[in-house]
Amino acid sequence: MNYFLRKLGFYAVALWAALTLNFAIPRMLPGNPVDILLAKLQQRGGTVTPETRKAYALLLGGDSSDPLWVQYWDYLKNLARGDLGTSVSYYPAKVSDVILTSLPWTVVLVGVATVLAALLGVLLGAFVGWKPGTWLDSLIPATTLLAAVPYFWLALILTYFLARVLGWFPMQGGYDVVLSPGWNFEFIFSAIEYGFLPALTIVLASIAGWLLGMRNMMVSTLSEDYILTAEAKGLTPRKILRSYASRNAVLPSVAGFAISLGFVVSGSVITEQVFSYPGIGGRLLGAVTNNDYALMQGVFLFITLAVLGANLVVDLLYGIIDPRTRARS
């Protein structure tokens, strides 16, 4: 039980750190959102009076004349109520509403792609690592090319060949624009068709990490005594591979899920930009170009929350599947 409490405590601290970072970033950095917006207004030929300044400051979240701890307290209070402010670029929509409409797209896309990549990578890695030194195993270093490919560039290449040259898939968007979103067969089919290329990008770019990790652990598991014992008992190789070697070798891959998920989410944020996908990454980048600071912070918060939540679930599961972690703590 201690293990689970410790994990919950850690994620509470991580959550607090993320919230505080989100609060501190705009206040620590040299650029002042109000100044940037006013400068933009002036460039377009608007006149800036102290009243405009005050209006902008209010729009962007309160007076900055309060002491810092009061601002911090207000910020936490607003978060607890789910109030992330008003989006400037989607005015007068609330930030939370803008995020909630785009969140399902990203969650489904990244979720499906990550699970697929992890499953395929772990299976292939177990298969290859089972017989180290064979010709298949000697091809493994080639996968480092996939691991080093920038997500968004892979997206460009796939779009160019599969969508533009061969015309198999649509180039951009999340669904056919003539359809209206809803739970009907036509729309879901269209969403799958449009989501195929982004998902393929994420799977291809992230599979190498899983494969390499699994293969390395498989090789080291093979030298364990219990494998030798299993062989001496006369068990079939298939049984040893399935019940003894892969089960133990997969543990670090599960434990490393946290790190990989962060990378996948980071990669997919930019990938969405290439496909003009209606997900949360596209919203984040749109917010950056439109100086929509409230939306920017809101998206960051949501992404962090999602990643922390997924990690918490995996960590708790890990405590159940590997009893040693519970004993150690």
Partner 1 sequence: MTNLEPQTAAAAQAAQAVDPHVDAAPSENPVPEGRPRAGWRSLVPTMTPWLAIGLILVVGISLFGLIGPYFVGDPRQIRDIGLTGPSGEFPLGTTQIGQDVLAQLAYATRGSLQIGIIVGLLATALSAVFGIYGAYKGKFLDESFSLLTNVFLVIPGLPLVIVISGFVPRESRGLWTIAVVLAITSWAGAARVLRAQTLSVRNRDFVAASQVSGERSWRVIVVEILPNLLPLLAAQFVFAVIAAILGEAGLAFIGLGASNSSTLGTMLFYAQNGFALALGAWWWFVPPGLIIALFGMGLSLVNFSIDELINPKLKNLRQHRKRARRAARLERELARSTRRAGGDTAKESVR
Q: Site residues for partner 1, window 30-89 (CB under 8 A)?
A: 30-31, 33, 36
Instruction: Reduce the DSSP state of residue 145 to 3 states and report it.
Output: helix
Contact 227, 244 (CB under 8 A): yes
Dihedral sign (CA 173, 174, 176, 180): negative
Q: Which of 83, 231, 263, 320 binds partner 1 (CB under 8 A)?
A: 263
Residue corresponding to tokens 């269209």:
190
Q: Which of 46, 104, 150, 323 binds partner 1 (CB under 8 A)?
A: 150
Stretch that binds partner 1, among 68-76, 105-113, 229-237, 269-277 (CB under 8 A): 269-277
Stretch that binds partner 1, among 54-62, 190-198, 239-247, 300-308 (CB under 8 A): 300-308
Compare residues 148 and 178 and give the one whose CB is closer to partner 1: 148
Dihedral sign (CA 291, 294, 296, 297): positive
Q: Judged by CB under 8 A, does residue 181 bind partner 1?
A: no
Contact 245, 141 (CB under 8 A): no
Other beta carbons within 10 angstroms of residue 305's beta carbon come to: 13
Compare residues 137 and 187 and give the one whose CB is closer to partner 1: 137
Stretch that binds partner 1, among 77-85, 86-94, 238-246, 293-301 (CB under 8 A): 293-301
Residue corresponding to tokens 């030798």:
228
Under rule CB under 8 A, how many of the chain's residues touch partner 1?
83
Q: Judged by CB under 8 A, does residue 133 bind partner 1?
A: yes
Q: Which of 84, 191, 222, 240 binds partner 1 (CB under 8 A)?
A: 222
Residue 159: CB minimum distance to partner 1, A: 6
Other beta carbons within 10 angstroms of residue 225's beta carbon come to: 7
Q: Which of 5, 68, 136, 164 binds partner 1 (CB under 8 A)?
A: 164
Q: Which residues of 62-89 are buried (b: 16+ CB within 10 A; e: fewer)?
A: eeeeeeeeebbeebeeeeeeeebbbbbe
Q: Judged by CB under 8 A, does residue 5 bind partner 1?
A: no
Closest CA to 163 of 188, 189, 200: 200
Which residues are within 8 A (CB) of 250 and not within 5 positions of it... i.e. 6 or more apart? 122, 126, 214, 217
Residue 258: CB minimum distance to partner 1, A: 6
Other beta carbons within 10 angstroms of residue 303's beta carbon come to: 23
Compare residues 98 and 212 and give the one whose CB is closer to partner 1: 212
Q: Judged by CB under 8 A, does residue 258 bind partner 1?
A: yes
Compare residues 62 and 181 and give the one whose CB is closer to partner 1: 62
What would the two tokens of residue 43 be? 């460039």
Stretch that binds partner 1, among 48-56, 72-80, 183-191, 279-287 (CB under 8 A): 279-287
Query: What does the alpha-carbon distance between residue 160 and residue 162 come to, in Å, rounded to a whole number?
Result: 6
Q: Which of 8, 17, 115, 321 binds partner 1 (CB under 8 A)?
A: 17
Q: Which of 260, 277, 319, 322 binds partner 1 (CB under 8 A)?
A: 260
Q: Which of 112, 285, 316, 325 binds partner 1 (CB under 8 A)?
A: 285
Query: What does the alpha-carbon distance between residue 110 and residue 132 come to, in Å, rounded to a whole number?
Result: 32
Query: What does the alpha-carbon distance between residue 208 and residue 214 come to, in Å, rounded to a whole number?
Result: 10
Residue 271: CB minimum distance to partner 1, A: 10
Q: Judged by CB under 8 A, does residue 192 bind partner 1?
A: no
Residue 121: CB minimum distance to partner 1, A: 9
